[in-house]
Amino acid sequence: MRKRILATALLLASGTLVHAADLTIPAGQTYIITPEQSDLRLEKLSIGDGARVRFAPGVSRWRVEAKHVSVGENVVIDGRGGNGTNGADASPFADRAKDCDAGSVGRAGGAGASGNNGTALDLWWGIDAWGSNSKLLTDGGSGGVGGAGGNGQDGGKVNRCAGPAAGNGGNGGSGGAGGAGGEVALSYFDASGKGLSISDRLNVSAAGGAGGSAGNGGAGGAGADGRFQRTASADAYFSAGSAGTRGSAGLPGAVGVVGTVAVKQVAAAAHPSWTNEVGSAAPADRGTVQTLQKQVQALQAAGSPADASLADVVRAMQDQIKRLEQRVKTLEAR
């Protein structure tokens, strides 16, 4: 246990996850990119056959500069946005209106939520190896379906009155807009020295999400039947109530905007414009600070005060926490 804590601490103390040395994703595994890993500078990146990279909530962009990248067969980097939730169907009326009262209009269906945007990918990679059928997916999520409008309330019964009108059906909810496709910028160079090209082994999709379909309008309520009733002077016929009309369907959601895709080969000596930036966004840095603080506490609880190597690691991590906290203040002040 202590060895595992120390190994993790050494990785973090080496320059934060934003500037980690290597990242290896084993074959067949799904690896979740956390906010702390949203902006990486790597020496080596290895993604095994059949592995899938996905993104935790809060990661809107994955920016990675890596000098040596090896991608296996059937690898998927899946930054597709989640689908919007469906709108709620309107609740029905429990009873008809009171005698001689008109029915109420049906309740409106809920609007579908918008789909989430795809995760943007900004990758600057030196390619050592690239397997076939790899995919970069940043499609926007589909909008949620609009909820159905409720049925109109049935009109009240005829009771020595002309039949009251039934309520019209409620309108259906509008569908949610599709999420925008995430932008894809893959700049790569041949780090293998073998004249490697990836264009015929890479599939990229950055489609906008489908708009959610509209909810149907609710049916009109039923009017009460006409009837003969005795009055003070004679029997009289009281007319039936009119039925309500169906509510209108909601509007369909708009299709999400297609994300831009740029895959280009660059010179090996070139670097992205952001290579020397101080780091990722403030939320990612705050997450790194919290991770470091937990590791410091774990090391202090597990270690011995006389362990010089452990004390050095703790001091390095504490210094790093101070630097990150200052950086967060700077970023948040912009």
Percent of the chain with pLDDT over 90: 65
Read off the DSSP letter of residue 161. Answer: S
Rounded mean pLDDT, 264-276: 83
Rounded Cα distance between 144 and 151, Å, is 22
C-alpha to C-alpha distance for 169 and 167, rounded to whole angstroms = 6
Q: Cα separation of 150 and 147, whole Å?
A: 9
Q: Is the pLDDT of residue 3 over 60?
A: no
Angle formed by the axes of helices 308-332 and 282-302, to 10°?
160
Exposure of 196 by Cβ count < 10 A (0-12 exposed, 13-18 middle, 19+ buried)? middle
Band (195; pLDDT cuts 50, 70, 90): confident
Does the structure show a pLDDT above 80 at 250?
Answer: yes
C-alpha–C-alpha distance, residues 177 and 282, integer Å: 29
**Sequence-separated (6 or more) residues with CB below 8 Å from residue 28:** 48, 49, 50, 51
Residue-level length of the chain: 334
Q: Looking at this protein, which amino acid is placed at residue 40?
A: L
Lowest-confidence pick of 186-190, 249-253, 297-301, 306-310: 306-310
Cβ contact 80:137 at 8 Å: yes
Band of the pLDDT at 327, cuts 50, 70, 90? Answer: low
Each domain of the chain, given as residue ranges in start order, spans: 79-275
Lowest average pLDDT, out of 1-15, 98-112, 115-129, 172-186, goes to 1-15
pLDDT digits (tens, 9 = 90+) for 310-325: 677 777 777 777 776 7
* pLDDT (tens digit per residue) in 22-42: 899 999 999 999 998 899 989
Mean pLDDT value of segment 57-63: 94
CA distances from 245 to 100, 108, 146, 221, 291 (A): 19, 14, 20, 8, 60
* Sign of the four-CA dihedral 12, 15, 18, 19: negative
Note the pLDDT tens digit of each residue in 287-308. 566 666 777 777 777 666 556 6
Residue 8 has pLDDT above 90, yes or no: no
